[in-house]
Homo-oligomer: A and B are copies of this chain.
């Protein structure tokens, strides 16, 4: 007969199935005596409520879904951790799917969640346009952790990238640096905002922003650094698009015998595990990624409760000072 059902428990406890159902859902409308009796029977039979049946009957899943672009990227996993914490506090289950860095993967992952009919979805995505998001938002409550142009159909939570750049420029100029270069990451998510923030902060201070093409990886940092150091007047500080790129910069500087931070200061962005390593010790911009997850989940729960007006939150990063930056 396979797994025991609610009817089995009811029969064993000598009560109705409805009562067992109430007990399982922690209803207050059950006497202590019955509750104990039912729980004892359930326990004895090894009863485990059938989620499929429950969700079918109730039309709810008590579950929220998170779609992550890439499980290998700590950005997304920390995001997920924040979501998990907030979901647990609200008594909700969490289902995670990943797009494995591919756009088709993200589609499939979202499709899986929509099929599961989770009560809502948190999108930690990067690969596609606002329209796709919109389509999802049409079908279920949705919160995106990404910086779109404040769409009406869903809530968003994102990092104030430009402000992060401002913090970096502020830190470096206070250390006396004036020739500061930024290695950007083209149009990758977040990169344009970081670049814009850098350029504005520099010109606000009457300084000429130096920007070199780059990407969010180590190699880009290495080759951009090589080009920068070949300039007639090389910069005294380099602000990379992210920590990985900064690591590339560091690697190149060491290879040409430049001392960090004595000759050149380096700043990263993201405050990943890398930045904290003793062997690297990068000054970097910390984003409260777990907080992104928390806030997005809180917003999602509000939506599930019925709010319809879109909310958009901008979260402030902070600078973490380590030993890759020093006075000029």
Assuming the A-B contacts A84-B98, A98-B96, A100-B81, are A115 and B56 also in contact, with contact meaning beta carbons closer than 8 angstroms in the complex?
Answer: no
Number of chain A interface residues as a range: 35 or more
**B residues near A51, Cβ cutoff 8 Å:** 115-117
**B residues near A61, Cβ cutoff 8 Å:** 52
**B residues near A95, Cβ cutoff 8 Å:** 95-97
Query: Which of B55, B115, B251 is within 8 Å of A277, CB to CB?
Result: B251
Q: Is A103 an interface residue (CB 8 A)?
A: no
Q: Is A93 an interface residue (CB 8 A)?
A: yes
Q: How distant is the Cα of A255 from the Cα of B278 in the complex, in angstroms?
A: 10
Q: Is A94 an interface residue (CB 8 A)?
A: yes
Q: How distant is the Cα of A50 from the Cα of B100 in the complex, in angstroms?
A: 25
Q: How distant is the Cα of A188 from the Cα of B245 in the complex, in angstroms?
A: 32
Q: How distant is the Cα of A84 from the Cα of B109 in the complex, in angstroms?
A: 11
**B residues near A112, Cβ cutoff 8 Å:** 93-94
Query: Which of B48, B72, B254 is within 8 Å of A279, CB to CB?
Result: B254
CB distance from A99 to the nearest CB of B (A): 10
Task: Give A267-294 as 1s and 0s: 1 = Cβ < 8 Å from B's Cβ atoms.
Answer: 0000000100111100000000000000
Q: Which 9 A-B pairs have the closest CB atoms?
A: A251-B278, A251-B279, A71-B77, A52-B56, A96-B96, A52-B55, A51-B115, A52-B52, A53-B56
